[in-house]
Amino acid sequence: MKKFNRRSFLAICSAVAAVSIMTACGAASSSSVAASSTVSGSSSAAASTVSVSGTVNTNGSTSMEDVMGSLIEAFKEVQPGVTVNYTGSGSGAGITGAQDGTCDIGLASRDLKDEETGVKQITLAKDGIAVIVNPANPVADLSIEQIAQLFNGEITNWSEVGGEDAEVVPIGREAGSGTRDGFESITGTEDACVYQNELTSTGEVIANVASNPNAIGYASLSAVEEDSTIKALTVGGVAASEETVLDGSYLIQRNFNLILSDSKELSEAAQAFVDWATSTDASDLIAGAGAVPVAE
Amino acid sequence: MKQKIRPMEKIMSGVFLFCGIIAIAFVLFISIYLIISGLPAIRQIGLAEFLLGDKWASTASEPKFGILPFILTSIYGTCGAILIGVPVGFMTAVFLAKVASPKVAAVVRPAVELLAGIPSVVYGLIGMMVLVPAVREAFDLPDGASLFCAIIVLAVVLLPSIISVSENALKAVPREYEEASLALGATQIETIFKVSAPAASSGIAAAVVLGIGRAIGEAMAIMMVAGNVANMPSLFASVRFLTTAVASEMAYASGLQRQALYSIALVLFVFIMIINIVLNSLLKRKGD
């Protein structure tokens, strides 16, 4: 029995050691593969595009993570020689990165301010944020001011906006979330929202609003379309949809921008990525990631 | 023959030493990493303001990094869970060790073990879908996600560890003690509370401390029922624990906000260290 115990212990130890060695090797080899993959892929690329190679570093908005993720994934097929990296650090850091050249392409989920000079923006897509309530809630339409007041605590009872006599339960996302940042900056409620519940994913927000008749929350437009467990409000009489986001009549929306330096010329690889991402070829991918593509 | 065995012995003892070192190395690595990455933010914010500040607004234009609400919530939540979990857990342990017939115990014990095996995210999910709406209805609140729900979920989470440790402690009480008590005319209940429980007290205390450690470190289950707003704790308010403060903001954190999250983890680590030291001294006293 003693012998058996020792042997099995030894087996476990060696298994652990083997696994740790393998993961170490795996990590090392995968990074070297990524660096050296400059094989040209003329077969998969469209006939007109010339195959290029290199690395493109993108840095910025965390809200754009989903869009960038699917674009980067698909771009591997278009230009197998190009490696595109994405770092989510916030729109401000993305713009700074493009200004001082620490990244090739900055990503910002807001428009450039006047004092942010030396860079230009290319709008890649538009992002609509839907305001959602429980289907049992009789309120169907709110103005953007009313929405702001519901979230910052100035309106605490649904009867003040035509609903039933019940306390308002504002539900939001965690600090640092791109959706929260977008919603608060558009409604002008930065740092002023009084949440009852701060959740870490869109799915949790929808589940909570679906289970609480007094809740109000916000979520990406794509996540709430065709979801009958919750009701998307019309804002100033305009329903949230791709069309109303594109023509600008739905107000709770913002731009996803690529930020490029004015002074520094883009590398061949970065230019190829920008051209492709802003073309109609990428439209379906952007829509699939929850944003509204602007390319025509 | 002996010469053939010797190199194997040496190799094996080397392997054992290596495995032992792995465990120590991880502990050392985590401790050093947390201290190195947790201290800069504390230094920048100021220890007093960090620990005693009552406002947390990490992404505001003028960020505030006070974690007193999280510390108090963690302490209140843990105390509440212990208040509910320990009596229930102790009674269950008495039932399993002393009262139940072997057949009944054979059904209850695996059920308790199964409870220990349920992943905490499942507790959270059921708490979010069942407990939170139920609490909202029962207490007529605008929203059910609250410290109260978190305490209930924590009490269930720490039940199995309290039961199994105190059951072992009760079983280790020498039979002669109980037999002497019964022979003197005490009833079974008197024997359990006046003889067995005091004799097993250090083991039961260890169970309580272990439960505290389990409760204070739990994140996933309570994140889904506590509401996660950085309020000062109150029974039916949305609250945020030390663990959930780290978990909920880590995904998109940057700069000082991220460093401050490391500092919260460091504070949590210090709490766990203190609990472990208390636990060790309790177990040592039991051994004497």
B46, pLDDT greater than 50: yes
Chain B residues within an 8 Å CB radius of A190? 60-61
Q: Do A169 and B143 touch (CB under 8 A)?
A: yes
* Residue A61 C-alpha, separation from nearest chain B C-alpha, in angstroms: 10
CA distances from A135 to A210, A215, B13 (A): 8, 10, 67
Quote the CA–CA distance of B216 and B193 in Å, as a whole number: 29
Exposed, middle or buried, B133 (CB in 10 Å: 0-12/13-18/19+)?
A: middle
A23 confidence band (pLDDT: 50, 70, 90) = very low
Pair B152, B84: CB distance under 8 Å: yes
Q: CB B57 to CB A191 under 8 A? A: yes
Question: How confident is the model over A169-191, as pLDDT tens digits?
Answer: 999 998 877 788 889 988 988 88
Q: What is the mean pLDDT of residues A3-16?
A: 48
Q: How far is CA A236 from the centre of its chain?
A: 25
Is the ipTM, as predicted for this complex, more than 0.90?
A: no
> Distance from A167 to chain B by nearest Cα, in Å?
6
Alpha-carbon gap: B40 to the closest alpha carbon of chain A (Å): 20
Among A216, A232, A221, A134, CA closest to A171? A216
Contact A294, A126 (CB under 8 A): yes
- Report the residue of chain B nearest A209, measured CA to CA: B143
Mean pLDDT of chain A: 81
Interfacial residues of B (vs A; Cβ cutoff 8 Å) = 12, 15-16, 18-19, 22, 57-61, 128-129, 132-133, 136, 142-145, 223-224, 227-229, 238, 240, 247-249, 251-254, 257
Q: Determine whether the interchain pair B223/A200 forms a contact, defined as Cβ–Cβ distance below 8 Å.
A: yes
Quick check: A210 pLDDT over 50?
yes
Identify the burial level of B189 via C-beta atoms within 10 angstroms of its C-beta, where 0-12 means exposed, 13-18 middle and 19 or more buried: exposed
pLDDT tens digit string along B51-80?
A: 999 899 888 778 889 999 999 999 999 999
Q: Parallel, antiparallel, or unpaired: how do β-strands A105-108 and A253-261 relate? A: antiparallel
pLDDT at A211: 87
The DSSP letter of residue B146 is S
Cβ contacts (< 8 Å) between A167 and chain B: which residues?
142
Environment class of residue B27 by beta-carbon count within 10 Å: exposed (0-12), middle (13-18) or buried (19+)? exposed
Per-residue model confidence as pLDDT tens digits over A98-153: 998 899 999 988 888 888 889 999 999 998 899 999 999 999 999 999 999 999 99
Q: Which residue is closest to A165 within chain B, CA to CA?
A: B142
* Topology of the domain comprising B52-287: MetI-like fold (1.10.3720)
Domain architecture of chain A: domains with CATH: 52-126+256-293 (3.40.190.10), 128-253 (3.40.190.10)
Cα of B283 to nearest chain A Cα, Å: 26
Tell me which residue of B43, B65, B93 sits closest to B249, measured CA to CA: B65
B145 chain-A contacts, CB cut-off 8 A = 196-197, 208
Return the domain boundaries, chain B: 52-287
Which residues of A fall within a CB distance of 8 Å from B128? 204, 207-208
Chain A residues inside the 8 Å CB shell of B22? 16
What does DSSP say about strands A215-220 and A119-133: parallel, antiparallel, or unpaired? antiparallel
Give the integer Cα–Cα distance in Å for B75 and B57: 21
Q: Is the pLDDT assigned to residue B247 strictly greater than 80?
A: yes
Number of CB pairs, chain A paired with chain B, less than 8 A apart: 90
Q: Quick check: helix, strand or coil at residue A198?
A: strand
Separation CA B251–CA B257 (nearest Å): 11
- B177 against A17, higher pLDDT: B177
- What pLDDT, on the 0 to 100 scale, is given for residue B283? 75
**How many CA within 13 A on the CB side of residue B152?**
20
pLDDT of residue A51: 82
